[in-house]
Each structure stands twice: as C-alpha cells, then as structure tokens.
Amino acid sequence: MEEINEINLYHIRVPMSEPFKISSGEISIKDSIIIELKFKSGLVSYGEASPMAGSFYSNETPESVWDELVNFIRLINRKFDFDNFEEKISKIVTHFSQLGLSSYAIAGIETALWDAYSKRSGKPIYTLLGGNYRQVESGLAVGIYDSINNLLNNIEKYLELGGYKRIKIKIQRGWDIEPILSVRKVFGDIPLMVDANCAYTRDDIEYLKKLDDFNLIMIEQPLSKDDIEGHAILQSKISTPICFDESAVSIKKLRKAFKINACKIVNIKIQRVGGILNAKKMHDFCKKNKISVWIGTMPELGIGSIQALSLCMLDNCKFPTDVEDSRRWYLDDIIEPIIEVKNGIVIFKEDVNVNLKKVKKYMVNKIKVKFN
C-alpha cells in the first residue's frame, strides 16, 4: 500500500521554436500543467495535463483545466494499492469524469498514477500495457504558413533535423491543393498526409475528391467532430483513407463510426481520451475491428510525449507517431534526456527524469496540497 502525502501542481509555459498555426488557431507558447504526486515511501511520480491555449482542439484551456485540477485533485484516493491497477484506475477515471473533469485534467491525474505504478513495479509502462519494445517511427507535422516558400523551407529544415518518416501538413480552405502540390513537387513521393482539424463541411465533399490525386496516406479529420455521417458519405466518395482525430473521443463514438464506415484509421491521443487506460482500450477496440491506429500529440511536453511513446509499442499502431524531437517544437523541454529523433526513429529512453529547476523556471502558477 502506498500513501500520497503531497501533491504539487505546476502550470508552466515553455516558448515554442515557431508559432504553430492550424485551421482553428495559432499559438507560440506551450502551456502545460504538471502533476507531481509524492508518496510517503519516497516515491515521486509525474503526469501532464496538456490543453492548448485558445481552445485549439477543444473548449478546454490551460486556465480551465488548471481550475479543475486545483478544485478536485484533493479527491484523489490517497491510499493506493497497486494490485489490480487497471480496475482501480478505471474507477478513478470514472469518478473524476462523473465530477465533470475534462479529459485533459483526468489524463494528468491518471498518467501520474501510471508513472507511480511503473516506478514501483520497476517495469516500463508499455510492458504493463502488454506491449513489446520496438523501434518507433516519427513523422514530421507542420502547421499552416503565410507562404508556400515558408512551408517548404521549414519542412526542409525539420527533415534535416530528424529525417522523419513522413510529412503531415495542416490544410484548410484556401490552403490545401497548392501546398500539397508543392510538397509533392519538391519532396517527391515521400509519405505524405494532411490534417484539416475539422475545417471542411459536407458542402466541400465534391471539392475534397481532388485529394485522391496526390497519393496521400490519409486525410485527418476533414469534417466537424460530430459529423460522423458526413465522414461516411465523404469516405464512400474518396479512396484516400479518412483518419479520425477530434471525433475519436470514446469507444462509443468509434463503434458508431465503424458501423457506417466513416473512417479507416484512428489517431489516438492520451489527452483527448482521458488517459493511458482509455487510449489502450481504444487501441484494442480498433484492433478488434481491423482499424489501424497511430498515436498523436497535442503536442505535449516531455512527460506526455514519453507516455505517448509507450503506447506506440502496442502492436496495432501502424503509422508513424506525431511525437517528434523535443527541439522541433520547443526551445527547451523539462525532461532529461530530451526526446531525440534520428533518421526518423525515436531514440527511446526508459529512464527519463523531470528537471524541476526547469519546471520552476517556466512556472507561472503553483499549488501545493499537503495531507497529514
């Protein structure tokens, strides 16, 4: 039995190496909330809640998730027995979900408990999930730029840094066919995919048929997250596989999507589905339904990225992950060693430490909860 006697919440803001623009917004600073659990035994574990500022992918913001955690973190089970861990973690997730916490806040708490479980058992998270170590391929993701030249120059720069296994570009109305054509022209037949972050509607279905001309691996989330039927109509008219991202919030949603062939691939994100266990369950559900998955990111800082890499060890992850070299998005990261990508492969280190000096350097808010 372990007992939590202190919890620290740190809201940190790390400058990004370049502004990140997608169809729904733009950011230049990465906000993240680090959850530190301290146990009586001396065990210390970390989780990350990683909403994007400005309601980038969802209604949640760093401030709203911070408030949820400050208000509810005290309700965590203080005494924790790690037997039947998945059953217990499932109850905790359900409890916080019933209290109305967002998937981001729940992911922060849940992943901190997985870290504790992993450290206590001396086994990496992917082993505890039933995965086996394998090399993880990383894909380069780039945002929307103000010119085609800027897009091409940045892709070239980042490909040199990590030698990524595929390119993903963000698209929206007015920024789709031309950038795709240009990337194909300059980078040849490199594996290429596009992500619309819900930018199109059913009215664009005829237009989107043009995407079939570019041999894309997939188109991620073309339509609104709630328009599952619309995706099924689009998928019946295009051969490029549709990948769900924003729509992939639960097994319930996926069940409906698979029934009507609304997508052929799923991007699973720990932050969007409320933690590692839900992500694993969705992975397994997709596998059962013969739908391939891959692991996406917000992107998170190092703590969340390492957890995402653990999920990449599961055998139905068939495409490169969005987890990239720490230096690709951030001027600094809070883990040691940082994540590196060489020749498109992530250099995966199991023993990663959180650098508290850096956490404090980038901290804009902190709350300590002490139990006696």
Candidates 66-74, 91-99, 185-193, 243-251; binding stretch for Mg ion (CB under 5 A):
243-251
Contact 368, 6 (CB under 8 A): yes
| Sole binder of Mg ion in the list 31, 36, 60, 195 (CB under 5 A) | 195
CB 34 to Mg ion: min, Å = 24
The residue with its CB nearest to Mg ion is 245
Question: Is the Cβ of residue 48 or residue 220 nearer to Mg ion in the bound state?
Answer: 220
Segment 118 to 157, residues that bind Mg ion, using CB under 5 A = none
Known catalytic residue: 269?
Answer: yes
Parallel, antiparallel, or unpaired: how do β-strands 353-354 and 335-336 relate?
antiparallel
Known catalytic residue: 170?
Answer: yes
> Which is the catalytic residue, given 30, 168, 170, 280?
170
Candidates 119-127, 159-167, 194-202, 253-261; binding stretch for Mg ion (CB under 5 A):
194-202
| Sole binder of Mg ion in the list 176, 220, 325, 333 (CB under 5 A) | 220
Residue 300 as a binder of Mg ion (CB under 5 A): the answer is no
Segment 251 to 280, residues that bind Mg ion, using CB under 5 A = none
Question: Is the Cβ of residue 45 or residue 240 nearer to Mg ion in the bound state?
Answer: 240
Taking CA atoms, 313 is separated from 40, 109, 196, 248, 300, in Å, by 32, 22, 27, 20, 18
d(CA 32, CA 46): 12
Question: Is the Cβ of residue 2 or residue 245 nearer to Mg ion in the bound state?
Answer: 245
| Sole binder of Mg ion in the list 36, 245, 300, 324 (CB under 5 A) | 245
CB 322 to Mg ion: min, Å = 8
CB 112 to Mg ion: min, Å = 25
Question: Is the Cβ of residue 111 or residue 247 nearer to Mg ion in the bound state?
Answer: 247
Could you tell me the two tokens for 235?
């998928």
d(CA 160, CA 148): 18
Contact 217, 28 (CB under 8 A): no
CB 77 to Mg ion: min, Å = 33
Candidates 66-74, 82-90, 110-118, 193-201; binding stretch for Mg ion (CB under 5 A):
193-201
Could you tell me the two tokens for 363?
């901290």
CB 249 to Mg ion: min, Å = 13
Question: Is the Cβ of residue 2 or residue 220 nearer to Mg ion in the bound state?
Answer: 220
CB 10 to Mg ion: min, Å = 27
Candidates 65-73, 239-247, 283-291, 305-313; binding stretch for Mg ion (CB under 5 A):
239-247
CB 298 to Mg ion: min, Å = 10
Question: Is the Cβ of residue 216 or residue 334 nearer to Mg ion in the bound state?
Answer: 216
d(CA 260, CA 279): 22
Number of residues in the chain: 372
Strand partners, 14: 30
Candidates 61-69, 180-188, 220-228, 285-293; binding stretch for Mg ion (CB under 5 A):
220-228
> Which is the catalytic residue, given 168, 269, 280, 358?
269
Q: How many residues bind Mg ion (CB under 5 A)?
A: 3
Active-site residue set: 170, 269
Question: Which chain residues interact with Mg ion by CB under 5 A?
Answer: 195, 220, 245
